[in-house]
Structure 1
Amino acid sequence: MDRRRFLHASALLGGASLLTPHGAHAQAPAVITRDAMRPQMPHGIQSGDPIADGAIVWTRSDRPARLWLEWSTTASFANLQRVRGPHLLEDSDFTGRVDLRGLPPGQEIFYRVLLQDLRNERVMSEPMAGHLRLPPAIGGKGLRDVRFAWSGDTCGQGWGINEQWGGMKIYEQIRRINPDFFLHSGDTIYADSPIPAEIKLPDGSTWRNVVTEQTSKVAETLDEFRGRYRYNLMDANIRRMSADVPQIWQWDDHEVTNNYSDAKDLSADARYTEKNIPLLVGRATKAFHEYAPMRRFGDAESERVYRHLPQGPLLDVFVIDMRSYRGPNSANLQTEENAASVFLGRPQIAWLLEGLKRSRAVWKVIASDMPISLHVNDGKDAEGRDRWEAVANGDDGAPRGRELEIARLLGEIKRHRIHNIVWLTADVHYTAAHFFDPAKARHTDFLPFWEFVSGPLHAGGFGPNKVDATFGMQVVYQKAPGTPNAAPAVGTQFFGQVDIDARTRAMTVTLKDLDGNALFAKTLAPQRGSA
């Protein structure tokens, strides 16, 4: 049973046979102290979308406030700079961010966030300190090694914050490797997975979650979607990493509901009183953009997620969006590109190709929210055929359906001789290394490349998935629990680490487990090309 079939079964059964929910923990009466009279930042601080001269700094207040930010290139805050940020008000759930620009490229940046109480402007919060490391400018002096981490899937299948177990411990492992940034590859929340107080484990023991009102049911209201992000930030491991490591976020389906597309139908799902998918998408989108430490676009497409984040001469990161522009999930067997087969969409593919052609970085990472050639099923269509959620369609022949877009993209990459492209993804709740070999493919018009999969961060373990042979994907390594919805305590939670050596320009990708153990490593030597 893969993750999506498990979720489908859970929805039909209301989760009753899979999870054992109990009443929410009672909240202790608040004790008013002198510090509580100041504005508070109960969900910590985050930084994100780092570039050579800038980064986003985010926080959330517990009341109407103005955000102030101080930064320096030294931990002593000598020669600090002060920036006035936005008002944090009810319409944004008291969240806000500052897009710091004009920073010195390649520097360590130490910052602290303060809140000014709008009911009494003389009252300021205690400062909350953070840190980030900027990439060097392209063409600038000096070159250093690059290290970053990636993974996805947080708080899925009912596995929430178990403080007795240590919370979401994998985030602390990521912080300890001291990465330049962390790439969250999607499913930043599980809006469709209620978090019960207790779950009975196969060995007879009990997993005990911290629970909140907003996580006790599927998210439908704007407050319930926001509550999912607030819940994740209750975890001390996440808050600690978020203050110390810049993040790059993307999204997938669980920010709204499982496998959503234009074909999604909630009419038979008794958990939902709101059946309108576009309305749920609207509320979920607002909550995501309020809580993601992400740089906003202009009014033309203010909710855009795909973006280019240059990380200096050694690395370009292209974050793509496989969710927002897709057509309906279907049998995925169209023989020509049309509205039913669209996945990334022509504007996004054109943007990606142009960015890859222009890139002068040694390595080009495509941060993808779904794998290319793994079977990701979405039940059956009206004719009883398999319906597909990702790119692959279970047919090993020539590209059809969504594979047509990917074939066109890969063909253009080959035509322009763009080398050193690596795909990173999550989604399937296990870890793997895939090599795409045109010599073993049904469709051969592409350059060989690697795709690495990691996750989940803190969710049920699943897999492994079946393979579609259209693009010649070879499974070089994989590790999965072998049983559906394996608990985090089993140890099959994973993240990936990427190191680029400044001297040799080689990229080493290491797949790691919950304890930080290296499971598999692959060193890729850069190839010469026109780009």
Structure 2
Amino acid sequence: MPGTLRLPRRAALLGGAAGALAAPRLVFGQGTAPARIAAEAERPRADWGAAVGDVGADRALVWSRADRPARLVVEWATDEGFRNAERVRGPHATEATDFTARVDLQGLPADAEIFYRVIFEGLDSDRAAAAPVLGRFRTAPASRRDVRFLWSGDTAGQGWGIDESRGGMRIYETMRRTGADFFIHCGDTVYADGPIAPEVRLPDGSTWRNLVIPEVAKVAETLAEFRGRYRYNLMDRNVRAFHAEVPQVWLWDDHEVTNNWSDAKDLSADARYTEKRVALLAARATRAFLDYAPLRPHGADEAERVYRRIAYGPHLDVFALDMRSYRGPNSHNRQERAGLETAILGAAQVRWLLRGLLASTATWKVIACDMPLGLVVGDGRDAEGRPRFEAVANGNGPALGRELEIAGLLSALRHAGVRNVVWVTADVHYTAAHRYDPGRARYRDFHPFWEFVSGPLHAGGFGPNEADDTFGLEVVWQRAPEGRANVPPTEGMLFFGEMAIEGRSGVLTVMLKDVAGATLWRRSFEPERA
């Protein structure tokens, strides 16, 4: 592993059990005693913790939620004692945003540990304040240093919710302990279409017992039900602690709305839904996602835009994509000409991505997306009985359908001489290392590249999926349930990926890990020089 490891954040703070016992310290993601005493009923509550997103060298977005109308206040400092703390008075949290609010902290020092506390002030005459929620994060570097980040996807899917007797969503605590600089959630941040029952019988005869609330008892249709899905995940103590300490980069995929969602999705035969208008469901789901995602909003003309670039020092640019909002309908996906029906990113996003990659001076350009490029992901059959496809791939053969958009992007990068592009993704509920090689491909006008798949975080295990030869996908390594569907979390098929970039050399090390933190696969890559 190149470079020097930083201690996991909480370990670094506490300095071991003896120090913790001798002098109580901060517990991140949880409330502490308020500075002003007030009757409990008079104070707002922030039981859903706090999260930090889209961190740069001099700014970071801080998110939280109150239980009633209140005003968000964020205090930050570069020391644990909050000496000389800066205080930023943020917006009101009201019913319009489900009492969520965010503050975009600016003017932060680069490459610094930032301690923060989130406070909600009441709107009554004495402005009784909520117990602060504490957290910390590190800003991006302005010069070369070791950088470590994580990625995965798929939280609370297939009815596997929070079983507190089994430790809840344990993988979030495993990831927190890595001390990573940030985490990319590659989508399916919630499963709005997946009801969570109080009990699930496991294959060994034991019982999985879910924590449940009314909003997860059925498929989400109302705005309140979509929002409830996000609140549900934040009921897990592991998730709250992770969010408080590890900055987030959120993407989204289909389950934030409904399975295999596009504008052309037909719910007429799905008896679970009384609301059949997919566009209305998508509108409500989008509002809920934007309320709860620690995502820096764009201007008014692009208020719902998810794709964006996160610059993280001289060695790393992250390009977070949106494969959901601009796609054409799921189809047989074998059109010979590109058009609106073959879009997966959409023309505007492709132009933005290409411009950003061409302009990037970072050693590594990491493209984070919600679905793999070369794995076949089906979506039933079309009206003519032909296979219909959910992702890019459509089976072996030349570039057709959605593959045309990706082929054009890959060719443009080759001709521009852009190197050191790596893709990370989730979606398929197993973990794998893929190499795309023009020497093996049907479409050959591109430079070889790697794609790394990891997930689920806390959902059923599936796979592996069929590999498509259009871009020469070679499955270098994979770990999957091998033909079994919806394998429960108790079997350990929960995965995340970790990347570490050595500041001195720029060497990238990729590790694919399991719920226990064990490294299952690892490889280091020297950056290619121009």
Separation of aligned partners in 2, 1:519 and 1:422: 19
Q: Note the alpha carbon deviations across 1:290-344, whole angstroms, 9 max, x for none.
A: 0000000001110000000100101000001100000000000000101111111
Aligned residue type for 1:494: F
The alignment of Structure 1 onto Structure 2 pairs a total of residues equal to: 492
> What is residue 404 of structure 1 aligned with on the other side?
404
TM-score by length of 1: 0.92
> What is residue 283 of structure 1 aligned with on the other side?
284
Query: Is the 2:46–2:131 contact (alpha carbons within 8 Å) kept by the matching residues of 1?
Result: no
- Within 5 Å, give how 1:31-430 maps onto structure 2: 34-137=39-142, 142-394=143-395, 396-430=396-430
> What is residue 26 of structure 1 aligned with on the other side?
none
Aligned residue type for 1:368: C
SS of corresponding position for 1:279: helix
For structure 2, which runs of at least 5 residues remain unmatched after alignment?
Answer: 1-37
Aligned residue type for 1:430: Y
> What is residue 486 of structure 2 aligned with on the other side?
485
Aligned residue type for 2:264: A
Separation of aligned partners in 2, 1:99 and 1:450: 34
Q: Note the alpha carbon deviations across 1:148-193, whole angstroms, 9 max, x for none.
A: 0000000000000000000000000000000000110000000000
Q: Note the alpha carbon deviations across 1:26-48, whole angstroms, 9 max, x for none.
A: xxxxxxx9434321101011001
Separation of aligned partners in 1, 2:113 and 2:100: 25
Separation of aligned partners in 2, 1:119 and 1:270: 46
> What is residue 471 of structure 1 aligned with on the other side?
471
What is the CA distance between 1:119 and its match in structure 2?
2.1
Aligned residue type for 2:123: L
> What is residue 436 of structure 1 aligned with on the other side?
436
Query: Is the 2:429–2:454 contact (alpha carbons within 8 Å) kept by the matching residues of 1?
Result: yes
Query: Is the 1:59–1:95 contact (alpha carbons within 8 Å) kept by the matching residues of 2?
Result: yes
Query: Is the 1:262–1:329 contact (alpha carbons within 8 Å) kept by the matching residues of 2?
Result: no
Separation of aligned partners in 2, 1:453 and 1:121: 51
Aligned residue type for 2:158: Q
Separation of aligned partners in 2, 1:167 and 1:226: 20
Instruction: Output the aligned Cα RMSD.
Output: 0.9
Separation of aligned partners in 2, 1:201 and 1:126: 40
Separation of aligned partners in 1, 2:148 and 2:408: 31
Separation of aligned partners in 2, 1:340 and 1:459: 31
Aligned residue type for 1:111: Y
> What is residue 512 of structure 1 aligned with on the other side?
513
What is the CA distance between 1:122 and its match in structure 2?
3.1
For structure 1, which runs of at least 5 residues remain unmatched after alignment?
Answer: 1-32
Separation of aligned partners in 1, 2:520 and 2:345: 32
TM-score by length of 2: 0.92
SS of corresponding position for 1:462: coil
> What is residue 11 of structure 1 aligned with on the other side?
none
> What is residue 10 of structure 1 aligned with on the other side?
none
Separation of aligned partners in 2, 1:343 and 1:129: 40
Query: Is the 2:193–2:258 contact (alpha carbons within 8 Å) kept by the matching residues of 1?
Result: yes
Separation of aligned partners in 2, 1:215 and 1:340: 34
Separation of aligned partners in 2, 1:391 and 1:113: 41
